[in-house]
Amino acid sequence: MATIDTGSAYGLKKPTYNARLAEVGRGTPMGELLRRYWHPVGLSSDAGATPRRVRILGEELILFRDGQGRAGLVYPRCCHRGTTLYYGKVEERGIRCCYHGWLFDVEGRCLEMPAEPDPGGRQCQRVRQPWYPAQERYGLVFAYLGPPDRKPVLPRYECLEVMGPGETVEADDSSIGSGGIVIAPCNWLQHFENVVDPYHVPILHGSFSGPQFVEQMAAFPKVTFEYGPVGVKATSIRPGPDGRTFRRVTEAVLPTLRVVPNPRVAQYGRVESIGWTVPIDDTHYRIYVAGRIREKGELARFKSRYNGKTWAELTPEEHQKFPGDVEAQVGQGPISFHSEEHLMSSDQGVAMLRQMFQRQLEALGSGKDPVGVAFTEADAYVKLDAGQYLED
């Protein structure tokens, strides 16, 4: 950094980022940690009869649904001579490569080699198309990209399992910039850390850019941070209506779960949705959301307004004048330079989250399973504290 005495930018050192935390590729520390958990790779409706490209954790994959209704996720390069299964045809039993017609099921087993003298013969067992387990829940397709012998049970979340009257669960795939941006061009951690940064709410979403959320959120909160069993929890206390206390609890749950009550509705009670921050590669992420709803399309309906417009409607000048989360987080750069940061007391949640990740990296390094990874249905049932509450 520049020396404090003059502050001249001339003294800046070459900036660096914490690769251990930020990078997600195969074989990197965080990449291996994230590969111990299930991640959403698409909406259930994305898995269909047309092969679809999916990018996650620096890998490119092909998602499809066979004629029997099973979702499949395979490595794109055909194990015969390498063309992509993106041009494949989806059939009753699996996906057929366009080039020489090899047919693979959702677990990569080869069922047919039409150009061979005995198309369904024993030679089929000599190959296997690389694949990953896929499982559907809450309207999303989840994938496990880790070592097969450490595959955990796909978790269930109480807030998406226990329904109120008339409620069902819906999934949505475009919640950055109020749906104006699907793939954000920056590192996933920049978004995930934002979950435990409640002090930015009254500033960025309040006084700086004008109210982007409901009015109560504009008040400066008194915040406490705590570790939970699987993440970091921030409790923000603000004055509520009629002299009552407005208590808002948000959680960042490992590996990438954003458990945040909707700041656009003054609704009280336990959290109604979960957002997954999905690292696409080191410099891109996207979000999938599943939430309890009463009416179809409800998740996508609550859009923040910036100067009376949705994010997508803003001109470049307005983006500069009324920045929101997208501008602030993408503005930190493709991967934020951690060497140039100065964390203060209000960044306690961010520091705690990084520490929690560091501890999981150490656990993994010494052969242990990270937190939140469960191998029985009972252990994979997750209860969270997040919500908005009015108290006397």
Instruction: Point out which residues bind ligand FES (CB under 6 A).
Output: 78, 80-83, 97, 99-102
Quick one: 196 or 299, whose CB is closer to Fe ion?
196
**CA distance from start to end of the chain:** 48
**Residue 12 vs 343, nearer CB to Fe ion:** 343
Q: What is the DSSP letter of 309?
A: B
List the beta bridge partners of residue 281: 284
What does 41 bind: Fe ion, ligand FES, none (CB cut-off 5 to 8 Å by kind)?
Answer: none
The residue whose Cβ lies closest to Fe ion is 325
Least distance between Fe ion and beta carbon 290 (Å): 20
Q: Which does 170 bind (CB under 5 to 8 A by kind): Fe ion, ligand FES, none?
A: none
Nearest to 181 by CA among 326, 334, 331, 335: 326
Instruction: Tell which positions 299-358 bind Fe ion, by CB under 5 A.
Output: 325
Alpha carbon distance 105, 169 (integer Å): 29
Residue 221 sits at the vertex; the CA angle it makes with 289 and 339, to the nearest 5 degrees, is 70
Contact of residue 303 among Fe ion, ligand FES, none (CB under 5-8 Å per partner type): none
100 binds, among ligand FES, Fe ion, none (CB under 5 to 8 A by kind): ligand FES
The dihedral sign for the CA sequence 301, 134, 65, 25:
positive
> Which residue lies nearer to Fe ion by CB, 247 or 264?
264
268 interface partner picked from Fe ion, ligand FES, none, CB below 5 to 8 A per type: none
99 binds, options ligand FES, Fe ion, none, Cβ within 5 to 8 A by partner type: ligand FES
- 28 or 209: CB nearest Fe ion: 209
Of 285, 315, 113, nearest to 195 by C-alpha is 285
23 binds Fe ion (CB under 5 A): no
Give 53's strand partners. Answer: 62
By C-beta, is 348 or 360 nearer to Fe ion? 348
Q: How far is the CB of 329 from Fe ion (least distance, A)?
A: 8
8 A C-beta contact, residue 112 and residue 101: yes
Nearest distance, CB of residue 190 and ligand FES, angstroms: 39
Asked if 204 and 328 touch (Cβ cutoff 8 Å), the reply is yes
Q: Compute the least distance from the CB of residue 123 to ligand FES, in Å.
A: 13
Of residues 105 and 325, the one with the C-beta less far from Fe ion:
325
Backbone angles phi, psi at 189, to 5 degrees: -65, -30
Could you give the CA distance from residue 342 to residue 344 in angstroms, rounded to a whole number?
A: 6
Q: Token match 């061009």: residue?
A: 185
